[in-house]
Structure 1
Amino acid sequence: MLRLIICALWSFFAMVFSCPLHFHFKRLIKKDPMKGWTTAYKYVRGFFKKLIFLTGSKIEVRGQENIPKNGAVLFVGNHRSWFDIIIVQTLTNRPMGFISKKEFENAPLLSPYMKDIGCIYIDRENPREAIKTISKGIEQMKTGLSLGLYPEGTRNHGDELLPFKEGGYKMAERSKSPIVIVTMTGTDDIFENNKFHFIKKSRVLVDFSKPVYPSELSVQEKKEFYASIPEHITEKYAELKSERNK
């Protein structure tokens, strides 16, 4: 209970008192998008690091060396918790937005920060708007901004993956950027799995795969690679969960 109160109060006051920064970030993004996103990312990353510290959680990472040092990357992962996004943002060491549900576009306090780091919103019920979102993501990645994509489309509360929506992979393909698969376990034990949604410390395991460039694959190879992503995550998730339970 105490951790929940501390995390909630700290997050609320941190977001409220930093509101003036949004005007600064907005000006920078207008002049130089990449510079603006980078500046905002550094601030948000620091915010997320403090929040993770307040939860008392331990983060163990595999394959961080697989993340390319330069250029945009499409990080594709499983989605079990709000903390998936928070933790990945602290580990990639690069300006990074993510693909979010349309419903969060006007979320109080939260949405300005999402816009500052280059998040884009997708309306899965409107195919035409979804295509526009993918096109925007392609342009942002061409500029150098990395993006996080959760193809399940929503948080998953079971061990089996939800059906993957593959349309977002085109952002990597058409921007000639790599895909790095991110598999996580233990994030939902920080918040979602707890009675009354209390905050509890958790041991979180994260795995980054080696990068794959879809633009360098044949049509058949791309098809096979995209189809293999859920299988890769399922296998890694089982492996990480087994290690975590030792």
Structure 2
Amino acid sequence: MTSAPASFLSRLYPIWMWLVYVPLAALTTLVSAVLAVPLALLVSPRLANRCIAANWGRMLAWLVPVRVSVEGLDGVDPSRSYVVVANHQSQFDIPVVYGFSGLDLRWVAKAEVGRIPFVAAGCRAIGHVFINRSDPDQARTAINRAVERLKPGTGLMFFPEGTRSRSGELMRFKKGAFRVAIDQQLPLLPVSVIGSRDILPADSLRLRPGRVRLRFHAPIDTTGMSAADVGDLRRQAHEIIAEGLRTGHEA
């Protein structure tokens, strides 16, 4: 049963969200994007990503507030490059993974993000990849160019469902991320993002405090795999992430 103080605070939270959180989140995003461009161009994209973008994600989580716990990161070698795949249930997946994964990631994002003023400039300077999902040739070319620029310890991040799950159920994975991992012989790193839908559901403006868990699973070695193994790799990653979500929600 919800206590009276908690119920009262939940009714006040929308006021906090619109009068405090939204303006501060917008300002934080704007300032971070503006700072990231010169730092990435003049010093290092990695430094801009780790110092500016990661702190942007942490700040957005802190303002909600969202408590984030990370599991399994001790099994990840920060000096290696990975193709990282995660489920996608909320827009809040992005700041959470950005802020708390501890990894230097380049995101594969839909082309619409590349049209957001200031944000697009910051993302391009860092090296994130924008793809047109209706143009497979453009998407393949953009991803291949991004992979060529990857330095050791920098990973490529995909949401292989292609969009946010509206129902909360893990959807079928698209092949792109798994094809990249095999083509480049990079280890695949599955991640289960647990609880983000409770913070901000897809197609909703209802933001609420809560807890998100990032569960990093054991990397999958793709050495020796070929194009014929894309389907098996995709199914294996889907099963691992689904199991992480199931046991994570039960815990």
Instruction: State whether TM-score is above 0.5.
Output: yes
| Cα distance, 1:220 vs structure 2 | 6.1
Distance 1:175 1:220 in 2: 14
Distance 1:129 1:20, change over 3 A: closer
Change (3 A) 1:81 1:193: closer
AA partner of residue 218 (structure 2): K
1:9 aligned to 6, 23, 26, which one?
Answer: 23
Aligned-CA RMSD value: 2.4
Q: Kindly indicate whether the alpha-carbon contact (under 8 Å) linking 1:141 and 1:171 is maintained by their aligned counterparts in 2.
A: no
Alpha-carbon deviation of 1:37? 3.0
Cα deviation digits, residues 74-124 of structure 1 (max 9, x gap): 110100011112111122323212111111111123222322332101112
Counterpart for residue 249 of structure 2: 241
2:89 paired with 1:80: yes
Unaligned runs of 5+ in 1: 30-34
Which secondary structure does the structure 2 equivalent of 1:40 belong to? helix
- Please list the CA deviations of residues 33-86 of structure 1 after superposition, one character each: whole Å capped at 9, or x if unmatched: xx3233333111112111101112221222111221212221101000111121
Deviation at 1:169? 2.0
1:61-210 superposed matches below 5 A: 61-141=70-150, 144-192=153-201, 197-210=205-218
Percent identical among aligned pairs is 22
Secondary structure at 2:212 match in 1:
strand
CA distance in structure 2 between the aligned counterparts of 1:103 and 1:219, rounded to whole angstroms: 29
Contact in 1 for aligned 2:190/2:217 (Cα 8 Å): yes
Q: Per-residue CA shift, 1:108-163, capped at 9, x if unaligned?
A: 23222322332101112112112212312321335652121011100102233222
CA contact (8 A) 1:151 1:168 kept: yes
- Could you give the per-residue CA deviations for residues 181-218 of structure 1, whole angstroms, max 9, x where no partner exists? 00112112112279x62321112122101111213446
In 2: Cα distance, 1:19 partner to 1:85 partner: 15
Rounded to whole Å, the distance in 2 between the matches of 1:25 and 1:226 is 36
Instruction: Give 1:14 shift.
Output: 2.5
Q: Could you tell me how far apart the structure 2 residues matched to 1:62 and 1:140 are?
A: 29
Q: Helix, strand or coil for the counterpart of 1:13?
A: helix
Aligned positions, number: 237
TM-score (norm 2): 0.83
Query: 1:227 Cα shift?
Result: 1.9
Give the gaps of 5 or more residues in structure 2: 1-13
Q: Partner of 2:215: helix, strand, or coil?
A: strand
